[in-house]
Amino acid sequence: MTVFFPDRLVWMRKKRGLTKTALANAVGVDLRSVSAYEAGEFEPSEDTLIRLASVLNIKREFFKKGTFDGPEPAQASFRAFSKLSAAKRDMALASGAIAFALCEWLETKFDLPKPNLPDLRQEGPEQAALTLRYMWGLGEKPISNMIHLLESKGVRVFSLALDIADVDAFCTWRDSIPYVFLNTKKSNARRRFDAAHELGHLILHRHGEYDGKVTEAEADEFSSAFLMPRSGFSATAPRLADLKNVIEHKSYWGVSVAAYIVRLHRLKLIGDWHYRTLFQQISQRGYRSKEPFDQKQEMSKLVQLFLEELKSEGIGISDIADELGVSESDIKDLLFDIAIFSVAGNEGIRLQVSKQNQNLFLAVDNTKKT
């Protein structure tokens, strides 16, 4: 008898953005059969299994590889959740399910960095940002790369599939492992803010205590304070902020021009009239949708490092996809579109691999040199 795990069908149908009806029509069975497969009432025939795999663009063996779980909606933070359709939310969560499986596979090869995220629920967002910077030894300098920082602290950071661009970012916990998913279509400044925003959720709302506007506002406040710490920011802020020097200073901190102006206002370095005037100017110039002088997109160094090590052993993305039973695009969608596996020039990054225990260690210099 065929071994079939229903949850795997549910997650991959959602990953492809298909309803049960759409899947039934594509496979050539009735809706009741698909519902029964997903409920575990009975298994598809071998012929139907082949057609399911073809429609879902996965290996037939995928359905036989054991239980398969993903983030629960209540345990995942989504920005602009009220504007997000259930289908797109489910597509994002299904990407998370594949990321969980990928991490499980990687942990059979490497010891990935251990999580080092404190629980700061008892502190307000501004104080939590200050506390975390102190605990991580970041001082008051700009953070050079948010993705590197999160990875070095044991957060598993992945990119989101390109067909769910409406999702800015989301985070979740699986057991004691934190995950962050970032949309690669956003500007680098926006993605850095999103990464810090999700970090705020992880330390302020780490048990899935997401209640919409309140927790989103707290995560935004944390992100702003974490990326632009009060003392360092105030010391470098222009004495008379105009659009030209705001753009110069926002690049120093690696944030958007809008985020920089909001921080100036929050710290009372500019007044209400000045704040409104600057926002009018950036709106007129289209800087709300297209970031001026955006920096090069930050990528995952951990992904580059483990792919390079696997490549040296003759293992590529196609091999990983075969192991997991998914398509190569499912893996690539999670890996920031990294196609060239090279770590040359990764200043401040080092990889340590023990041939005895396959230990992977990521060390990052996370502050900008001034």
345 within some domain: yes
CA 111 – CA 300 distance, rounded (Å): 17
20 within some domain: yes
Averaged confidence pLDDT in the chain: 87
- As for how many domains the chain has, the answer is 3
Judged by average pLDDT, the poorest of 28-32, 104-108, 132-136, 365-369 is 365-369
| Listed residues 48, 68, 88: the one ending a domain | 68
Whether residue 305 is found in the same domain as residue 273:
no
| Listed residues 10, 36, 68: the one ending a domain | 68
For residue 318, the tally of other CB atoms under 10 A from its CB is 11
Identify the CATH number of the domain in which residue 37 sits. 1.10.260.40
Whether residue 328 is found in the same domain as residue 268:
no
pLDDT at 186: 86
Q: How confident is the model at residue 355 (pLDDT cuts 50, 70, 90)?
A: very low
CA 10 – CA 14 distance, rounded (Å): 6
| Inter-residue contact 155 to 179 (CB < 8 Å) | yes
Residue 314's domain comprises 301-363
- pTM of structure: 0.89
| Listed residues 17, 48, 68: the one ending a domain | 68
Residues 97-151: tens digit of each pLDDT: 999 999 999 999 998 899 999 999 889 999 999 999 999 999 999 999 999 999 9
Residues 44-92: tens digit of each pLDDT: 999 999 999 999 999 999 999 999 999 988 778 776 555 678 888 899 9
9 within some domain: yes
Percent of the chain with pLDDT over 70: 86
55 within some domain: yes
Q: How confident is the model at residue 211 (pLDDT cuts 50, 70, 90)?
A: low
Order the strands of the 76-78 sheet from edge to edge. 76-78, 169-174, 177-182, 156-159
263 within some domain: yes
Token pair listed for 105: 């596979």
165 within some domain: no
More confident residue, 94 or 165: 94
29 within some domain: yes
CA 349 – CA 83 distance, rounded (Å): 39
80 within some domain: no
- Please, which residues have CB within 8 angstroms of residue 248's CB and are 6 or more apart in sequence? none
Whether residue 12 is found in the same domain as residue 45:
yes
Whether residue 4 is found in the same domain as residue 58:
yes
pLDDT at 369: 52
